[in-house]
Amino acid sequence: LQKNLKKGNQFQIMGRLSQTELTTPLAYEVSSENEEPVVAIAMPEATIETGASFMIDLNKPMTRSVTEEFADIPEAKDLIWQDDFFDDDDIVAAFDFDYEQMESYYTSIGWAWFGATILYSPLFIVALIAQTPCYLRKNVRWNVEAQHLAITRDGIRFVREKRPQCWGWHMCDAGRSSKTVPFDKITDCDIEEPAGNTCLVIPRVLMTVNIDTASSCEQRHELQISGIKNPYAFKKVGV
């Protein structure tokens, strides 16, 4: 079993498990198929003792919390998150994005722009040849799910991991990028709540966090992040 523990798979074990050790760098939910309660496995080592059959679903990472090293930070001690991207020692807390809402919103904008190309037939034909209707949502999903945000010991870290683009071919991949804004450089952190519509008909639904430094201006923020589930908790810890 230990060799087959891969994220994205499910394993069903029938019969009795006694003092079975599961070692993996992440924590997962174990769901029982009968009336037994859900068993939460604490990683990296855990012991399960049960006589019931159960299923291990590696699609459901458990929530994480602030480590003991940073538990004395009042603004961060109660934070929990599910993003398992960061594993650096200097991470105070990570912040989850609402990937589903982001995907829905940006896909709607993409369809609006695609529809607008009908007004200029050469551009519309090019979009059809490029198979835009087939890959629009995939490109949005690849882009939004590549975003990760954390507060580190020294500042705010925003990462876009390596991701597919266009038709998903390796030659079209976008490389990983990372930006850290040190705390001592931050001059302002504003939260912009959604209002009005985009493209006239698509309601804005994403909260946006604008982070400024001395080199920022009204037209350009040092870092602009949209889609965080809890932007107010982020601001409280990050500033």
**pLDDT tens-place string over residues 56-81:** 454 555 678 888 888 888 888 889 99
Dihedral (Cα; 136, 165, 138, 114), 10-degree rounding: -10
Q: What is the DSSP letter of 52?
A: S
pLDDT the model gives residue 225: 96
**pLDDT tens-place string over residues 20-30:** 444 333 444 44
171: pLDDT strictly greater than 70: yes
What average pLDDT does range 173-190 have in this prediction? 94
What average pLDDT does range 84-103 have in this prediction? 92
Question: Cβ distance 47 to 21 under 8 Å?
Answer: yes
Helix, strand, coil shares of the chain as percentages rounded to 5? 25, 35, 40
pLDDT the model gives residue 209: 96
Higher pLDDT, residue 225 or 42: 225
pLDDT the model gives residue 228: 96
**pLDDT tens-place string over residues 138-150:** 999 999 999 999 9
What average pLDDT does range 181-203 have in this prediction? 94
